[in-house]
Copies of this chain bind each other. A is one copy, B any other.
């Protein structure tokens, strides 16, 4: 297998030019009460307000726009538990081609409906990466769709990096940026962009303990796929890809794992104090700040709120987790 090349800042800049007419320039919000609780100055980049409700549209749109008409002629396809699927469905729609999506049948129902809403053709599969990949191979064989990997795709990573680029353009003097990490596309793109724009910035990732493959891979220095992940952060059930593992090893300063209880606590803080809807995966970055206050104390920290697609019929809030 050919070793994939790593995106440069120039690649991210080109991606940004390509997609900026179509994406939302999402706002950066602050909360004095969360700052007080954490003893840190947080700048939340609100990708929950992005098209399709997550940052994933940046990468998917960038990747699909890069395809020639011939490459896109048989549609595009992917396997995804939700946000990348919805993003790819809209990106395909805008390109005038079809999206073929393989989704685990236990996916968040709101995410299923979103993918349907954008007109994609969906094939459901069992849980786990093996089932996804096998089902996808069948779909690919039948359709000839062009595969767009949810996180390990060069152009996807370039697109995801544009969120951190916008954040640093708006708040240039950040000491650190933290993102949630699942497949690592957002983390990789953010790290490349941030380190190019500000040499001494720290870039961190937050990950659920219950799906800690990035943490273990980063610490041990080789790619360890996730084993039976089980977290409320349904967007982070996947593993790093070879490309994102390489980038994270090279660019990232650290990975912090967080408990499920802290993820829910962080999500509640975002909802109650900022009055915005963030999905559990999006709260993982703030959860990591809450559990590692000594690292972030009195620093200016950019936090990427990755998405806002939650199932309102099945929220995790219980009276015992109140702050």
User: A residues near B, CB below 8 A?
Assistant: 27, 48-49, 53, 110, 268, 271-272, 275-278, 308, 312-313, 315, 317-319, 322
Contacts and interface: CB of A to CB of B under 8 A. Distances in A.
Contacts of A278: 275
Contacts of A276: 275-277
A276 B278 CA distance: 9
Contacts of A268: 312
Nearest to A315: B315
Contacts of A48: 275
Which 7 A-B residue pairings sit nearest by Cβ, starting from the closest?
A: A275-B308, A312-B317, A275-B277, A48-B275, A313-B319, A271-B277, A276-B276
A315 B318 contact: no
B318 A313 contact: yes
A313 B318 CA distance: 5
A272 B110 contact: yes
Contacts of A308: 275
13 contacts: A27-B27, A48-B275, A49-B275, A268-B312, A271-B312, A272-B312, A275-B277, A275-B278, A312-B315, A312-B317, A313-B318, A313-B319, A315-B317
Contacts of A271: 277, 312
